[in-house]
């Protein structure tokens, strides 16, 4: 543990802590507030000092600071209004002084979309971090992308956040990406609020969306607010907890006016409040007792019950509003403070590397040893910018920290807080905060400590890339900049991979979809001034075996001097369905037919052979190799001999194992006007798609289908022409499944033809 805990009691009430208690109790002016762990010495008085001393004697110096901190993310389906909502939050909390729209005609664009590409396309590509203050609380916010191609940005943001807002569109409802984001929130056990946005739009129906959240997302949820009017008549909201009506006046809705519940809505409000109490009672015993005992439930009791149930992830409060029309954002901010956890209310675990990765719960206190996770990297103007979430301890500028993953000791040259692409230098930051450091060389997912412990944080879930493109610089001179760009993007984004095609020698980039790769090619052009030519998109096929086949191969070579001798006997078979690994090697040798020091070489040989299947040269997956016997020579056997024996043994028996080709299948969700439904469904069948769902949503049909990725190239153009530009679709990777026999023959013939041409 940290040596700081051994100081005498008075030394522990250090200057900065005393000041913190002081700042908390002093008048809350900007000068006396805590900004990013830098403490400001102003507004002193004898009374304040006494109060500060008393406070520090009763409870830890950091407790109030932690309770007044929230780390939240805003996630949703494309175009649900995440960035617009973040823009309003920054405006109302005083972080920005004017509002700009996402597709800004004024040429400015939203604050959180700092990349030129984001402003042009009107989409979020990178998650951006910022922080703001609301009613004496500090809120760190990460605005995440909605497109499935940038799913890693959502994944890593949720990994480090304590709470989240799931934004749902009141017209579109629960869409495919809403389901993906919700699944990610569940994976990282993030307590969340739902915000039904766009109540001002034609066809807005928050109750339909709430029912969809219950059925499609299996949310145990209820409305915390009721809208006053909808669509063009949307005027304000009634808070079901406080039983107050809120109206938003002023040019940007900055003046919140509180009034009594409108008389014509009293019965409806009473019914919805009862529904809220019933829903929360099902998961909160304390409220259930009061409810069953017919006691009057006060706003404070209900608020506490909602908070308890939300923190336990048994309930999701649903807020409403229209971010674009500046209505409902301030009550949502109150909801973040009232119902989402502070850093010490969330359990975080690290793995102790000195005790065989034993799980250790981090208390989240700044008094502990430093534990911080690098969750996102960016190449800034001043070198690599590393975003850190501090889970325990304090990080200070100029101090040394240790990268547990590499063992390197690094000095922190510069510590900043981020506000989109702007930075604010700070001297120190403590547990619970999200900061960034410059000039620290590391990879995404590395853990830093102060050296007193050897903890690593559990890793993120990184999906496999599904699509590849061949790229090469147009001019030969720009090769250096080109490889620099690719190295940087690989470091920043774990779903972006770069490889060399061994046959053609081309550089292959792989990612999560067409848009993902297009954006990177465009960034190479803009940020590195390198024009790159792009080959035809290539699908990441896989091969696998379907039956057990034995092998017995002797590799023997005698050419004067030491020869090569190695014999391997065993079998290959498919792994059982649902297996977590893609390749397994099992040594079932009895006795010493092959010396044990050659076994790793045999495994390496089989792994290498499985990298390129004989059908179309793609990697072989779901494969189990079992070694049962073999033979070695006292003089001629070597690691190389056994490695080569394994490669040839695999090639010899592969054809007999009835190999098949697997292709990535995408889950495609389409929303098209009903009159085009027939044409779209017919086109999906042509593309060998399987329609698994068809719902009606107003005048639109929502079609869900499983379609091979190979047949989805250029689909956005085809869909536009079929639906007069009114159709939209999203797709995400579902699984790899075997192709039909005719497609397999076609792929094999194409592969052979290409090889013959070379």
Q: CA 32, 29, 329, 110 torsion: positive or negative?
A: negative
200 labelled binding-site residue: yes
Q: Give the 3-state secondary structure of residue 329.
A: helix
d(CA 667, CA 266): 44
136 labelled binding-site residue: no
The closest of 135, 185, 145 to 165, measured between CA atoms, is 185
Spell out the residues 6+ positions from residue 433 whose beta carbon is closer than 8 angstroms to its own.
36, 37, 69, 140, 389, 390
Q: Are 468 and 508 in contact (CB under 8 A)?
A: yes
The closest of 416, 417, 405 to 441, measured between CA atoms, is 405
The closest of 154, 37, 132 to 88, measured between CA atoms, is 132
Q: Are 447 and 495 in contact (CB under 8 A)?
A: no
Q: Cα–Cα distances in Å, from 360 out to 1, 347, 455, 458?
A: 13, 10, 8, 11
Region class of 250: left (phi > 0), else alpha (psi between -120 and 50), else beta = left
205 labelled binding-site residue: no
40 labelled binding-site residue: no
Instruction: Calculate the CA 399 to chain-centre distance.
Output: 30
449 labelled binding-site residue: no
d(CA 219, CA 497): 35
Classify strands 455-457 and 447-449 as parallel, antiparallel or unpaired. unpaired
264 labelled binding-site residue: no
629 labelled binding-site residue: no
In the structure encoding, which two tokens stand for residue 409, read together?
Answer: 């000791």
Q: CA 104, 108, 110, 112 torsion: positive or negative?
A: positive
485 labelled binding-site residue: no
Classify strands 236-239 and 244-249 as parallel, antiparallel or unpaired. antiparallel
Spell out the residues 6+ positions from residue 676 whose beta carbon is closer than 8 angstroms to its own.
722, 723, 724, 726, 727
Q: Cα–Cα distances in Å, from 369 out to 345, 452, 520, 574?
A: 19, 7, 39, 47
The closest of 97, 83, 110 to 167, measured between CA atoms, is 83
Q: Cα–Cα distances in Å, from 175 out to 181, 183, 542, 618, 671?
A: 10, 13, 30, 34, 10
84 labelled binding-site residue: no
b/e map 587-626, b = 16+ CB within 10 Å: eebeeeebeeebbebbbbbbbebbebbebbbbbbbbbbbb
80 labelled binding-site residue: yes
83 labelled binding-site residue: yes
79 labelled binding-site residue: yes
717 labelled binding-site residue: no
Q: How many residues does this entry show for the chain?
A: 758
Q: Which ranges in 368-513 belong to alpha helices (H)? A: 479-492
d(CA 399, CA 412): 6
Q: Give the 3-state secondary structure of residue 493.
A: coil
- Helix, strand, coil proportions of the chain in percent (round to 5)? 35, 30, 35
Q: Cα–Cα distances in Å, from 174 out to 76, 219, 601, 626?
A: 9, 11, 51, 47
Q: Are 601 and 627 in contact (CB under 8 A)?
A: no
| Sequence ranges of the binding site | 76-83, 143-147, 197-200
- Residue ranges at the known binding site for GTP: 76-83, 143-147, 197-200
């Amino acid at each position: 543990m940290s040596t700081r805990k051994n100081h005498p009691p008075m030394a522990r009430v250090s200057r900065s802590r005393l000041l913190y208690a002081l700042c908390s109790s002093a008048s809350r002016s900007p000068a006396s507030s805590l900004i990013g762990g830098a403490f400001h010495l102003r507004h002193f008085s004898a009374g304040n000092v006494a109060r500060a001393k008393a406070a520090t004697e009763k409870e830890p110096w950091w407790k109030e600071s932690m309770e007044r901190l929230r780390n939240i993310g805003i996630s949703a389906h494309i175009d649900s209004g995440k960035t617009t909502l973040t823009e309003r939050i920054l405006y109302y909390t005083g972080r920005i002084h004017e509002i700009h729209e996402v597709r800004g005609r004024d040429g400015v664009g939203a604050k959180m979309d700092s990349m030129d590409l984001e402003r042009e396309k009107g989409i979020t590509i990178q998650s951006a971090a910022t922080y703001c203050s609301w009613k004496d609380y500090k809120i760190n916010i990460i605005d995440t992308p909605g497109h499935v191609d940038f799913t890693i940005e959502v994944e890593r943001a949720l990994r480090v956040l304590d709470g989240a807002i799931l934004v749902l569109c009141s017209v579109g409802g629960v869409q495919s990406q809403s389901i993906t984001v919700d699944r990610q929130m569940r994976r990282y056990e993030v307590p969340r609020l739902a915000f039904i946005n766009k109540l001002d739009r034609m066809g807005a129906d928050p109750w339909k969306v709430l029912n969809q959240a219950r059925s499609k997302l299996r949310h145990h949820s209820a409305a915390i607010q009721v809208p006053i009017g909808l669509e063009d008549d949307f005027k304000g909201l009634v808070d079901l907890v406080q039983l107050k009506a809120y109206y938003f006046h002023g040019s940007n809705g900055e003046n919140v006016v509180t009034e009594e519940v409108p008389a014509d809505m009293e019965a409806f409000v009473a019914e919805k409040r009862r529904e809220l109490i019933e829903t929360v009672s099902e998961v909160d015993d304390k409220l259930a007792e009061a409810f069953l005992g017919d006691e009057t439930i006060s706003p404070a009791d209900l608020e506490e019950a909602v908070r308890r149930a939300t923190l336990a992830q048994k309930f999701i409060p649903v807020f409403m509003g229209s971010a674009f029309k500046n209505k409902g954002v301030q009550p949502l901010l109150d909801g973040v403070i009232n119902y989402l956890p502070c850093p010490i209310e969330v359990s975080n675990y690290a793995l102790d590397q000195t005790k065989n990765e034993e799980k250790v719960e981090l208390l989240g206190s700044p008094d502990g040893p430093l534990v911080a996770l690098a969750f996102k990297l960016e190449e800034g103007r001043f070198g690599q910018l590393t975003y850190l979430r501090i889970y325990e301890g304090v990080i200070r500028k100029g101090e040394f920290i240790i990268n547990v993953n590499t063992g390197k000791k690094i000095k922190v040259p510069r510590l900043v807080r981020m506000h989109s692409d702007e930075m604010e230098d700070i001297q120190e930051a403590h547990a619970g905060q999200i900061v960034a450091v410059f000039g620290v060389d590391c990879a995404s997912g590395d853990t830093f400590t102060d050296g007193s412990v050897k903890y690593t944080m559990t890793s993120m879930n990184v999906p496999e890339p599904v699509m590849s493109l061949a790229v090469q610089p147009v001019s030969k001179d720009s090769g250096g900049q080109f490889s620099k760009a690719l190295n940087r993007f690989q470091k920043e984004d774990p779903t972006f991979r770069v490889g060399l095609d061994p046959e053609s020698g081309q550089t292959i980039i792989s990612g999560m979809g067409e848009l993902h790769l297009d954006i990177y090619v465009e960034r190479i052009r803009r940020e590195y001034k390198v024009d790159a030519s792009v080959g035809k998109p290539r699908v990441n096929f896989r091969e696998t075996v379907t039956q057990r086949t034995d092998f017995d191969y002797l590799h023997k070579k005698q050419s004067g001097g030491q020869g090569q001798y190695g014999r391997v006997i065993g079998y290959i078979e498919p792994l059982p369905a649902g297996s977590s690994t893609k390749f397994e090697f099992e040594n079932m040798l009895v006795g010493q037919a092959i010396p044990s020091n050659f076994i790793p070489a045999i495994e390496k040989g089989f792994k290498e052979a499985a990298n390129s299947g004989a059908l179309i040269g793609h990697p072989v997956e779901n494969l189990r190799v079992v070694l049962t016997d073999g033979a070695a020579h006292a003089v001629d056997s070597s690691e190389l001999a056994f490695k080569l024996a394994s490669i040839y043994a695999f090639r010899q028996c592969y054809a007999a194992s009835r190999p098949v080709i697997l292709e990535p299948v995408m889950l495609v969700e389409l929303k098209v006007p009903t009159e085009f439904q027939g044409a779209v469904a017919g086109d999906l069948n042509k593309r060998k798609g399987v329609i698994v769902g068809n719902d009606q949503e107003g005048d639109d049909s929502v079609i869900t289908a499983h379609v091979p990725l190979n047949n989805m190239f250029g689909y956005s153009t085809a869909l536009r022409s079929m639906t007069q530009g009114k159709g939209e679709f999203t797709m995400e990777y579902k699984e790899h499944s075997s192709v039909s026999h005719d497609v397999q023959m076609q792929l094999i013939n194409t592969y052979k033809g290409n090889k013959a041409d070379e």
